[in-house]
Amino acid sequence: MKLFYRQLGSGPPLLILHGLYGSSDNWLSIGKSLAEKFTVYLLDQRNHGQSLHSKTHDYPSMRDDLLTFMDSHELQKAIIIGHSMGGKTAMFLAESNPERIESLIIIDIAPTPYISEDHSGITHKTIMEAMIGVDFTRVSNRDDVDKQLADTIQSPRIRSFLLKNIYHSAENEFRWRLNVPALYANLENILGGLNPKKYSGGEEIAGFPVLFIRGLKSGYITDDDIIVINQIFPMARVTTLPEAGHWLHVEQPSLLVKTIRYFL
């Protein structure tokens, strides 16, 4: 699938992959900071942002989208930064095509599947059902969407993040940019990950520097997860940003950029 992207700066190639409900636009300020020394590509993954919609949404497909993008831009190797779902996409690329990665930076996601999806007081299933349930015939502005979501989603921060996906259609109607029905149907795939059993017998993913960055207030990378990370990625370093939850690029953008720059 051909992906929408934004390109900034000049220098060695650096690709940034957003997380679930996100888009390239959410990472624009981070991208601009890194564009001082790199050619930064901010991608919209399938079913997000301005990229095409598909009924298929799994990590092998998103990995192949990424490979197609790299091939079409003649990028034999690149620094890959992935947040949450984007981090999983990057790890699937590292597993199948390690020779395409210069450095790997994973932001607040573990490589393994998530049995429980409740890390912030509300599940993705609940969030998506609330999004699907919005009656756009009763919407004349974003506040109307916010009021409908508030019946289920109490967190103003989560609602504000979701509302970034609202747009005016060609028919001048408010709609979701996200392909919410497809994401909902593929939620089990989104919560999936690398098979840890594959790496229990000495197999590993190596050959390039790896950094995992987690938020201190986030529950997406636990201390037990770090054991598995080191098993799969023996060259990995793990660092924790204070005063940050899952959305580190929003809560601690300056410290996140500083951490990435130091590592690179």
User: Phi and psi of 209, rounded to 5°?
Assistant: -70, 145
Residues 94 and 162 in one domain: no
pLDDT of residue 171: 76
Position 36 in a domain = yes
Does the structure show a pLDDT above 60 at 117? no
Lowest-confidence pick of 96-110, 158-172, 229-243: 158-172
pLDDT of residue 116: 61
pLDDT of residue 121: 63
The Cα 228–Cα 232 span in angstroms is 6
Position 61 in a domain = yes
The span from the first CA to the last CA of the chain, in angstroms, equals: 29
From the number of C-beta atoms within 10 Å of its C-beta (0-12, 13-18, 19+), residue 89 rates as: buried
Position 178 in a domain = yes
User: Strand, helix or coil at 188?
Assistant: helix
Q: Structural domain tally of the chain?
A: 2
Does the structure show a pLDDT above 60 at 119? no
pLDDT of residue 238: 97
The owner of tokens 């790997």 is 104
Of 142, 172, 187, the domain-final residue: 187
**Residues 170-226 pLDDT 10s:** 777 899 999 999 999 999 999 999 998 899 877 899 999 999 999 999 989 999 999
pTM assigned to the model? 0.95
Does the structure show a pLDDT above 70 at 120? no
Of 136, 159, 187, the domain-final residue: 187
**Residues 68-113 pLDDT 10s:** 999 999 999 999 999 999 999 999 999 999 999 999 999 999 999 9
Average pLDDT of the chain is 94
In terms of residue numbers, what domain contains 134?
A: 124-187
pLDDT of residue 114: 86
Of 138, 159, 187, the domain-final residue: 187
CATH at residue 102: 3.40.50.1820
The owner of tokens 């986030």 is 218
**Residues 127-137 pLDDT 10s:** 999 999 999 99
